[in-house]
Structure 1
Amino acid sequence: MSQMFDDPLRWLRAAAHRTRELAMNRAETGLGHQDADDDAGTIGTDGARGFDPFPLLEALHRHGVRAVVIGQVAGIMHGSNELTGDLDLLWDGDPAHAPALADAFASVDARLTGETGDALPVRPESFLRPKVEFTATGAGGDCCTPALPWGSLDAREFLARALTASGPGGLEVHYASRDDLIRMRRAIGRPKDLRRAAELDAPG
């Protein structure tokens, strides 16, 4: 990477603004984040229209939920230049933390679906699955627990090593470390993941 960013949330706000500008005059595609091309990513889907991860990130903070941002939003927070149209999250999967998570999602009018496309209620038990897909005010994406397979990687370690960015009003956003994000990218292995891992791993 050729640049360093000491304000990851400001950089994320700027990237989300660029995403909205890029997509605002584009015809609807009918594609959601689950339909994203393995090379282009969700920037080519309708998720990019109006993309703003902050309503959900702020809701998670208000409800005291420690969910870690993964995927390309975390990449942007580390200085990646590639834009995205979705927000992916990892939390610890502890049933005791599920009610606050459900309340946070409900506060931004979230809708949940399972991996087979079945609608799920925005209730604590729905989030105990290894992964649920969501659409909410500003952003859609995946909300995962460490039970989701990551090859030989232990996702619980991602949570332990996550970084925290602070913003106005005391907002705190937790996000995967650069090294863990690179490992996750390479474990998934899609063209976009390998390209983004190489970008993050490039000498600064």
Structure 2
Amino acid sequence: MIDEPLERLRAAARRTRELALNRAGTGLGHQDADDDVGTIGTDGALGFDPFPLLEALHRNGVRAVVIGQVAGIMHGSTELTGDLDLLWDGVPAHAPALAAAFTSVDARLFDEEGNPVATHADSFLRPKVEFTSPGAAGDCCTPALPWGDLRVRECLDRAITAAGPGGLEVHYVSRDDLIRMRRAIGRPKDLRRADELDSPASDRRGPRPASHAP
């Protein structure tokens, strides 16, 4: 049985690809996204498919947690996105498997200034590394990235797991933690999406997993 959150994500990714099918490239990457529109307005929406990377992470035994709007979609958000953001624990011993997963999908890595860096374990030990791959681009973060008062490492512990075909497991941040992340970042799109997830209508889209305040 395929968990509903993954069905939501597959459907949303398909709609994103359809929406962007006949759109000319803009030259804008996920880092250039408008603070209100989001990455649906960038070239990341062209051919957007997060599943090859999510499957590679699973094959390599990496417990990376999906955050950002992909997690929002898995919780029932109706807004589309063109990027995939990930959070992992930043433990050096786990970095080689992460590098192997990204290498297997021909991902390229960049530092926060946009400079290319090698796709090897040490590069992932930065607080944040940006990536592009044939199916999805985004950020891969660790708890060392400044998150204000939010205790992000605890978000990893509270993450939810969705099951897919072939034994695929996708870990994603809990809805309450995602709402807190959104409000901490505070961009117009984040506040709007936090309000959507915090609404009674969102409660009707599925059960709200319990979580503890950080």
Which category describes the TM-score, using the shorter chain as reference length?
Answer: over 0.9
Q: Percent identity?
A: 81
In structure 2, the gaps of 5 or more residues are 204-214
Residue 113 of structure 2 is matched in structure 1 by 116
Match of 1:192 in 2: 189
Equivalents in 2 of 1:19, 1:116: separation in Å?
A: 28
Counterpart among 31, 37, 59 of residue 40 in structure 1: 37
State how 1:19-98 maps to structure 2 within 5 Å. 19-98=16-95
Q: Does 1:147 align with 2:183?
A: no
Give TM-score scaled by structure 1 length.
0.97
SS at 1:10 equivalent: helix
Instruction: Report the aligned-residue RMSD.
Output: 0.6
Mapping for residues 143-182 of structure 1, pairs under 5 Å: 143-182=140-179
Q: Matched residues in 2 for 1:153 and 1:19: separation?
A: 31
In the alignment, is residue 106 of structure 1 matched against residue 121 of structure 2? no
SS of alignment partner, residue 130 of structure 2: strand
Whether 1:136 and 2:133 are equivalent positions in the alignment is yes
Give, as a single letter, the amino acid of the residue that structure 2 aligns with 1:185.
R
In the alignment, residue 199 of structure 2 is paired with which amino acid? Answer: A
TM-superposed deviation, 1:137: 2.3
> AA paired with 1:70?
I
* Number of matched pairs: 199
- Residue type of the partner of 1:127? F
Question: 1:56, 1:137 within 8 Å by CA — same for their partners in 2?
Answer: no
Structure 2-normalised TM-score?
0.92
CA distance in 2 between counterparts of 1:120 and 1:78 reads 33
SS at match of 2:140: strand
What's the secondary structure of 1:194's corresponding residue?
helix
Shift of 1:154: 1.1
Structure 1 residue 93 displacement after superposition:
0.1
Distance 1:22 1:117 in 2: 27
